[in-house]
Amino acid sequence: MDTKLFQMKETIDESELKAVAKMLQAGETVAFPTETVYGLGANATDEAAVQKIFQAKGRPSDNPLIVHVASKEDLYALTTDLPAYVDALIDHFSPGPITYVLADAGKVAPTVTAGLSTVGVRIPNHPVALAILQATKLPLAAPSANRSGRPSPTEAAHVATDLMGKIGALVDGGTTDVGIESTVLDCTGEFPLILRPGAITADDIARIAGACHTYEIEGEADKPKSPGMKYVHYAPEVPLILVGRERLSETIAHYQEKAQRIGLLYESEAFARVDLAKKRHIGQGEGEIAQALYRHLRAFSKADVDVLICEYPSLAKGHAILDRLERAATEII
């Protein structure tokens, strides 16, 4: 397949926007930027188009997709039986990095919901994403635009590495701002429940909804309501060992003794002096770490290292960044 490239970093050209919209309306797949990560979009009401997402990504069919829409009215059109608190949440947080899991009104293709009675919908806060949604006048199913299990793409180059030749088009809108996927919020109960943490936290949501619970259970759901709840996600090319600071030096020494080529992703400046050819500082502060996290994970390839050792960041338990690293890890020490 010949993947068409569209450049929308600086300006959104109307003729190119119409071409992208025409492709999506014709049932093609198009990767485009959102404020979180790049998404691989297709008409959410067209089963054949949605199937192309699963084929390009190599994604399991029981992993539901998030639907992107341009407005609150479009969100309401796809859902039903909304609790009273949802309207206030949408007004406060959307457009933005939050997905609402709500009762499905039966408008989207069956594979989008993976056979569930719920559908996840969000309004992205990115000018290119919103322009595409407004031009197509369609809800777009759009999981992250990467091969399933790999780190999500935050740059067009990441999408090209994983999916060039497998999708209809790629829209380059520059580097994404947030860098990790949206908070996924189950809004089918009396109080909202976070299924996947993101930049919008439980405390943020509780201030608007009055309360917010967090999904905590050993193992994963057989029928996950949210992407990221069942399968390995966000993993680099090589095994990732997530290690607490106090055991980082001994872990590095262990793999050196095994003559392994080691990559290091560290937070503590003390480890900047470690004599390794391939190392990166994970960043300072939640925003900086989140924005660069997947870029860092993608930087360690099989050609350069045999194992990636990552220092466990000093963040609160359950933080979205820790969630992504723990799900990507081969081993946690």
Point out the domain boundary residue: 196, 214, 232.
214
- Strand, coil or helix: what is 92? helix
Mean pLDDT of 231-243: 87
Residue 29 domain flag: yes
Tokens read off for 155: 């740059």
Structure-token match 């090319």, residue found: 237
pLDDT at 226: 58
The closest of 128, 129, 318 to 214, measured between CA atoms, is: 318
Are residue 280 and residue 204 in the same domain, yes or no? Answer: no
Confidence of residue 220 (pLDDT cuts 50, 70, 90): very low
Q: State which amino acid sits at residue 243.
A: V
Q: What is the pTM of this model?
A: 0.93
Confidence of residue 215 (pLDDT cuts 50, 70, 90): confident
Are residue 189 and residue 249 in the same domain, yes or no? Answer: no
Tell me the CATH number at 298: 3.40.50.11030
Are residue 167 and residue 283 in the same domain, yes or no? Answer: no
Are residue 181 and residue 262 in the same domain, yes or no? Answer: no
pLDDT at 179: 97
Tell me the CATH number at 8: 3.90.870.10
154 pLDDT more than 90: yes
Are residue 209 and residue 245 in the same domain, yes or no? Answer: no
Are residue 196 and residue 307 in the same domain, yes or no? Answer: no
Are residue 164 and residue 276 in the same domain, yes or no? Answer: no
Mean pLDDT of 96-112: 98
Residue 227 domain flag: no
Q: Starting at the edge strand that comes first in sequence, how are the strands of the sheet with 278-281 ordered?
A: 278-281, 262-266, 307-311, 240-243, 331-332
The residue among 169 and 284 whose pLDDT is bigger is 169
Are residue 118 and residue 265 in the same domain, yes or no? Answer: no
Torsion of CA 316, 319, 321, 326, to 10 degrees: 90
C-alpha–C-alpha distance, residues 113 and 66, integer Å:
8
Residue 160 domain flag: yes
Confidence of residue 227 (pLDDT cuts 50, 70, 90): low
Are residue 92 and residue 196 in the same domain, yes or no? Answer: yes
Are residue 83 and residue 144 in the same domain, yes or no? Answer: yes
Are residue 263 and residue 189 in the same domain, yes or no? Answer: no
Could you report the per-residue pLDDT of 37-72, keeping only the tens digit for each? 999 999 999 999 999 999 999 988 888 999 999 999
Residue 230 domain flag: no
CA-to-CA separations, 99 to 42, 231, 233, in angstroms, rounded: 17, 19, 18
Residue 221 domain flag: no
Query: How many domains would you assign to the chain?
Result: 2
Domain housing 49: 4-214
Residue 71 domain flag: yes
C-alpha–C-alpha distance, residues 296 and 140, integer Å:
29
